[in-house]
Structure 1
């Protein structure tokens, strides 16, 4: 049985357990996540999204096999046992090819699923909720389910051919926009139980029509909107009362839990409540990369206090210049005056800057920052000024006053909230 299925059984047996999902490709964020998993002795689910990683390289330049090797190498270097690591694929379907007609878009999606499963991704989110060119709007549940079953059939055969354990599946159509909404001004609509029931029924019919009875038993979660999301500057926090009917619905399906997307920036209390209410898989991404950006900007401020101007990295300025020269990752998402856009590029909670850390100029600035601060314990007054969350651990001697350690610790504080929410009995440990 899959470790995810085992966890879901424990959840429905009355244990308040869940599973955080770190959706990221940044090495420092992933290392921080691995250190948190090691400290708490919990499994780590890492997921690649369909636009990050695909058979053509995605925006990271990595194929699914590349990404698997990359994450496993990071785990080895961090000391995380491979059996503690679970790999998943998020939003797998025709998402990247919505501009194409359904058949060529789905042909690409089939190749995508095949590549993910053969590479060793175990948790597969089948997301065919987006309309392709010429599709009816809104896309009916029956079409979404049929396309998802089509991809599940590819996944089953790929796992068999590669002699790998069969994957577990996540289905669902009510998915918040990856990376947060452009605006929450219109509010959020919690998924209705009858809509969730219709999604399950349509997928059950589509899987049965293809003879995928065993695969259907490995559908572990349904993606819904529990009433959590964030935009560039605000967060819509979980309200348990509004989601109570939805929670009661899934309690009647003991093999299933809900998967909650865009849980970034939720309070730890809200995360505990989500797990309690059967939203047991919690996706996080921009909150972790934003914490890393905050750490890097703080380290750049420390650098400015210690290093002559001609030797500094000028990280924030380099990042801003790169985002202006290559606006494709933020231009459709941010709006406002020039001053408002400048603030959004630097500080928005949606953190579109995360797409630029791999750009040569930004990577070079980060390398210069690290070289300028490497090999020295940073002065405690400067840590207190710019990274105050880290001071206590530095004073206790459990955290080195070194740039890379401080940055990972800041990210780890974010991710540790998810681990504690998903494993209430996890041993308290310093990140």
Structure 2
């Protein structure tokens, strides 16, 4: 499947071809580098998506506009030798969410400007997510209102690509979207989307696009976001159960224009990911799971440094990050609960990985840079890799991974991506 061929993903699936693609949802440069290197190894296109909160016309929490994020990713691609023609850029959760505290019309105007910026920057896969209420509205909107707002955003994207002279994008629709970044409570089970709800989502959007004169744009909708019954919380993961999703998977046969898009697939087993693709969940989104693996490796390397490059008085990386998170708690305070050791564990080790929002902070960058300077390019003994980075020991022992700090960080993210690569092969 080529980048242009993502438009054909449903046609291929319904023609009997087993097809899947990983949607890498991250703005961390090492995670993006790892994804591109994995794409080179697989000879496959790479889909990288930015969310409305990460990247928007106001800069998002990364400080990047859509055009800025595009250039950021293309710069990494050039450095590692990834063919930009095989790169697919996507926008995730595009809608009024960043401005939902504002009145609806003001928030939607901002959302229109955002999606136009994504489209004009060459993002070719756009997820329309307008299900949330704005100021004075219910938390969740009626399907008809959600679909009408989604069509409005699609219209803005269509106008933007026409003005820019770019190929038109493909769209993903659907309102059964898991909580971005994972659940905030303990989990024991989840209900898969009911087939009739999936059918209703498609039909209400079809009608809304037609009413807006956008039937052609709807014809380029390729995916429906549904809940296959997978999710993760702070310390638990609900794995995919094909039997529980059997009716939903079977419903796809009545939706020949679409595949299903599965969010929150982080931390699923390799077998679960393969089963998801087998059942038509052909777009697998992953994000926190990649930066979780990166954080594990950084903390492991901090312990390695204490052995091979001791520096009396050096602040442990975990302490530096905790100081930063306590000083600026906005990214985690509403999501974690408890007290004492429980709260400390969540800040650093939660599957939801709220710590990922802090890595771009100058204080965090300085702490990581200091660690990497201590380690430099010195070879790290296999025994210390075994002790502190055990997931990478086989690769180091077999010569597939160079035992130096930076390569080990990239390898840690690639290890998290490997089961996705296998599932989508």
Q: Do both proteins adopt the same fold according to a TM-score greater than 0.5, normalized to the shorter chain?
A: yes
* In structure 2, distance between residues paired with 1:339 and 1:28: 30
Cα displacement (A) at 1:271: 0.4
Pair 1:339–1:311, CA change in 2 (3 A): closer
The equivalent of 1:41 in structure 2 is 43
* In structure 2, distance between residues paired with 1:272 and 1:109: 35
Write the mapping of 1:25-104 to structure 2, written as runs, cut at 5 A.
25-104=27-106
The equivalent of 1:426 in structure 2 is none
Cα displacement (A) at 1:311: 6.5
* In structure 2, distance between residues paired with 1:311 and 1:393: 33
Runs of 4+ in 1 over 3 A off after TM superposition: 184-187
The equivalent of 1:6 in structure 2 is 8
Within the alignment, does 1:421 sit opposite 2:415 as a pair? no
Q: 2:160 pairs with 154, 158, 161, which one?
A: 158
Q: Deviations over 1:314-363 (max 9, x none)?
A: 21110010000000000000000221100111110100000011111111
Q: 1:231 pairs with 230, 233, 251, which one?
A: 233
Cα displacement (A) at 1:293: 0.1
Write the mapping of 1:75-224 to structure 2, written as runs, cut at 5 A.
75-136=77-138, 138-185=140-187, 187-224=189-226
* In structure 2, distance between residues paired with 1:55 and 1:97: 12
* In structure 2, distance between residues paired with 1:290 and 1:392: 20
* In structure 2, distance between residues paired with 1:78 and 1:59: 26
The equivalent of 1:287 in structure 2 is 289
1:20–1:45 CA contact under 8 A, matched in 2: yes
Write the mapping of 1:387-406 to structure 2, written as runs, cut at 5 A.
387-406=389-408
Q: Relative to structure 2, which stretch is displaced further, 192-201 or 391-400?
A: 391-400
Q: Deviations over 1:175-202 (max 9, x none)?
A: 0000000114363221111111111111
The equivalent of 1:429 in structure 2 is none
| Aligned partner of residue 240 in structure 1, secondary structure | coil
* In structure 1, distance between residues paired with 2:186 and 2:152: 34
Cα displacement (A) at 1:391: 2.1
| Aligned partner of residue 273 in structure 1, secondary structure | helix
Q: Relative to structure 2, which stretch is displaced further, 304-313 or 157-166?
A: 304-313
- Provide the TM-score with structure 1 as the length reference: 0.96
| Aligned partner of residue 22 in structure 2, secondary structure | strand
The equivalent of 1:317 in structure 2 is 319
Cα displacement (A) at 1:9: 2.1
The equivalent of 2:358 in structure 1 is 356
* In structure 1, distance between residues paired with 2:186 and 2:172: 26
2:23–2:48 CA contact under 8 A, matched in 1: yes
* In structure 1, distance between residues paired with 2:50 and 2:83: 20
| Aligned partner of residue 241 in structure 1, secondary structure | coil
Cα displacement (A) at 1:138: 3.8
The equivalent of 1:371 in structure 2 is 373
| Aligned partner of residue 117 in structure 2, secondary structure | helix
Number of equivalenced pairs: 423
Give structure 1 stretches of 5+ with no counterpart: 424-431
* In structure 2, distance between residues paired with 1:240 and 1:319: 39
Cα displacement (A) at 1:313: 5.3
Q: Relative to structure 2, which stretch is displaced further, 173-182 or 184-193?
A: 184-193
Pair 1:137–1:180, CA change in 2 (3 A): closer
